[in-house]
Amino acid sequence: MFVPLGCKSDDPITPANVADKFASAYCAAAAHCCQAEGTVADPSLCMQYGQTVVATSQYEISGASTFNADIAAECIKAAGAFDCWDRSSIEAVCRFIYTGVVPIGGNCLSDEDCAQTPTRAACGAGSKCVADSFLGQAGASCLGRAVDCDLPQGLACVEDPQNSAVESCQPRSDIGGPCTYQPDCQDGLYCDKSIPTMGKCAPIKPAGAACTGLDCDWHAECLNGVCTPAFLSEAVCVAPSGTSDAGAMDAGGCSKGMVWCSCTSSYAACGPDGSTADACQCPGTVVVGGDAGATLPDPGVIVVEAVSPSDLAADPRRNEVYVASMGQRVVRALSTVTGATLWVAPSPGFLQPARLAVSDDGSKVYAADNSNGWIERVIGTTGAADITITLPPDPTTGEVMTITDIAVVPGAPQTLVVVVGLGSQEKVMVYDDDVPRAATAQVKSSSLIVFGDATTLYALAGDGSLETLTLSSDGIHSGSAAPTPNLFTQSRQEFLFDGQLAFADDGHVVDLKQGVLLGSYGVAGPVAVDPTGNRSYIVLPASAGTDFIPLALGEFDRTAFTRLRTLTLSVRGTRNLLVRAADGTLATDGSLEAPKSEGVVLIRPDAWQAATSP
């Protein structure tokens, strides 16, 4: 077992050695994950993760803090139970290694402010510390993963096979047991979802084994008919010493017929012998259309595989797009010229980054994280951590409020407007760095926001109505006029303003200042706009029975609303996102083929040479 220098496994747990002990337990648990990938656990990377976990537990405490040795012991036990995939239960325990000292009934700003001895507590209704267990016990409801089940006790959130609306904390299933997600199964098993009604746990296939696409679930991915592991162990796994990227591995490395593919300094995998690096499913792997040996025949198109986009944003000045990767817990910057990863902003700040916003000078990138009610800000040129905005809990329920949308104030990269869920309505707040302004405004539910200018904000509600708000030095204020109805259709996912006109993914085009619907493109889909060239671009709906292949985009006259050209590609399109970068490159979500992890498709301007008439 790995025991760091100067730390014995039976020493009392103290602030001085808790990171060492965590690293020892985590590295021991992750060793078999790495081995299955043909890698080994790096003790120094385990230590980095341990130090990050401990530091994170101190981050959100607003007042005095104390070290909880008993919770630290639970944290280390959770690290030793790492299942090669789900770290959420580990981090749910470890966030309370250090806590505040506020007793039950005292005032709090977050769960971390509450003392955890002698009673476990959380910051509840009325911003008061209340008795609460922060890990779900056997039988506890965990519907929607609202509660992290007690992984150290062998519990996972399992869906009732008779009723999909019921999920509860249950012992992790053995072979043949029910499952919905990989962590539902015991170590060494995967969730076989080929069962028509519900998944069943089955032995995981080793690297190099033949697969059909259904037998390699979360613990591995079926690539080119070969089962290639894809554990969430990227934080600690490295190539075995004495090996290289080019050839077959030593004993303990990749299995026979596989080769080592180095992805980044902290992630690698084994891939089929003789294959391109893309077959290794490296996050950020770039495949350029038209290049010799590439499988993608579309000139001018770049596919960046396995970055799992939950949102995209374009830098307004540089040839870059930003990708929020919820599954990987990172925000990534990609070059629109080469597809190369320019920087990666990792956890612990990001748990589930879901919504992005970029300042108009490109200096700040904001990522909203609904799993913890945080908004992380990073430096646009480097991805370096800048500040964390911690939103207050729902005043009624004490729960984390859902972040519907965020927008940076024009000309003020340090100022952010945030829309959060609040019952049947939503609240709009303004933050200067991490300090909130006093005045807030109420808007209808599911509202998306855009700035008309530096002081005028428009909110598109879920019912399709449009409301005007005003930004002032003390915060945000609702307009005097009633919301304008029926300008857009209901339940929109995208809302943008190009300085003159507003667009949504229902195809409608609106003059915001006049509150008038100008026209429609007659097709719904993610939209991006080039006001200088008077063009609009829409990801076209998939044809029936095509399984999202091929990806097709329409180019429209922005103000005449007529389709000018159609570009049909060979790649698979997911059709949720579309942005336009400074150099005219369009970025959308997609991949080379269905079995692969979702990626980003970059469509450079020269790709449109292959477009056809409408």
| Calpha distance 468→483 (Å, rounded) | 7
pLDDT for res 286: 56
pLDDT by residue (tens digit) across 579-601? 999 999 999 988 765 444 578 89
HSE of 13 in the Cβ direction (CA atoms, 13 Å)? Answer: 22
Please state, in angstroms and rounded to a whole number, the distance separating the CA atoms of residues 155 and 611: 53
**pLDDT at 279 > cutoff 50:** no
Considering only residues 27 and 520, tell me which one the structure prediction assigns the higher pLDDT: 520
Q: Work out the pLDDT band at 275, boundaries 50, 70, 90.
A: very low
User: For residue 7, what pLDDT is reported?
Assistant: 47
pLDDT for 187: 67
Residue 348, pLDDT score: 52
| Residue among 458, 364, 362, 356 at smallest CA distance from 406 | 356
pLDDT at 85: 62
Please check the confidence at residue 95 and state whether its pLDDT lies above 70: yes
Find the length of the chain.
614
Give per-residue pLDDT as tens, 326-349.
766 788 898 888 888 888 886 555
pLDDT tens, residue by residue, 194-218: 655 567 888 877 666 777 655 554 4
Mean pLDDT throughout 451-464? 90
Q: What is the mean pLDDT of residues 556-571?
A: 92
> 611 or 547: whose pLDDT is higher?
611
The residue-averaged pLDDT of 248-277 equals 36
Confirm if 157 and 167 have CB atoms less than 8 A apart: yes
Percent helix, strand, coil in the chain, to 5, is 15, 40, 50
pLDDT of the residue at 139 = 81
Per-residue pLDDT at 458 exceeds 90: yes
Domain boundaries of the chain, sorted by first residue: 1-80+97-120
Highest mean pLDDT among 147-151, 363-367, 514-518: 363-367
Identify each DSSP E strand in 244-384 by its residue range.
Answer: 258-264, 267-272, 285-288, 301-305, 309-314, 320-325, 330-335, 341-345, 353-358, 364-369, 374-379
Query: CB–CB of 307/325 below 8 Å?
Result: yes
Q: Collapsing DSSP states into helix, strand and coil, what is residue 70?
A: helix
- Residue 412: the pLDDT is 95
The larger pLDDT score, comparing residue 612 to residue 53, is at 612
- 519, 509 in Cβ contact below 8 A? yes
CB 357 within 8 A of CB 402: no
Q: Percent of the chain scored above 90 by pLDDT? A: 27
192 and 199 Cβ atoms separated by less than 8 Å: yes
Pick from 211-215, 229-233, 320-324, 437-441: least confident: 229-233
Q: CA 174 to CA 189: how far, in whole Å?
A: 8
Q: Backbone phi, then psi, for 70, in 5-degree steps?
A: -70, -40
**pLDDT at residue 270 in the model:** 40
pLDDT of residue 431: 97
Tell me: pLDDT of 266 over 70: no
Other CB atoms closer than 10 Å to residue 71's CB: what's the count?
22
- Where is pLDDT greater, at 564 or 541? 564
Q: What integer pLDDT is reported at residue 196 of this predicted model?
A: 54
**Cα–Cα distance for residue pair 579/586, rounded to 1 Å:** 6
d(CA 59, CA 95): 9
Average pLDDT of the segment spanning 97-125: 81
212-231 b/e with 16+ CB inside 10 Å = b? Answer: eeebbbbbbbbbeebbbbbb
CA distance 24 to 9: 8
Give the confidence band of 62 by pLDDT, cuts at 50, 70, 90: low
SS3 62: coil
Phi, psi of 151 (to 5 degrees): -60, -40
Most confident of 21-25, 49-53, 424-428: 21-25
**Average pLDDT of 438-451?**
90
pLDDT in the model for residue 562:
95
Number of C-beta neighbours around residue 566 at 10 A: 14
pLDDT beyond 70 at 281: no
| Burial class of residue 12 in the structure, from the number of CB atoms within 10 Å of its CB (0-12 exposed, 13-18 middle, 19+ buried) | exposed
Q: What is the DSSP string of 191-226?
A: EETTSSSSEEEEEPPPTT-B--SSS--TTEEEETTE
Q: Can you give the pLDDT at residue 227?
A: 67
Q: Comparing 398-412, 500-514, 532-546, 559-573, which segment has the lowest mean pLDDT?
A: 532-546
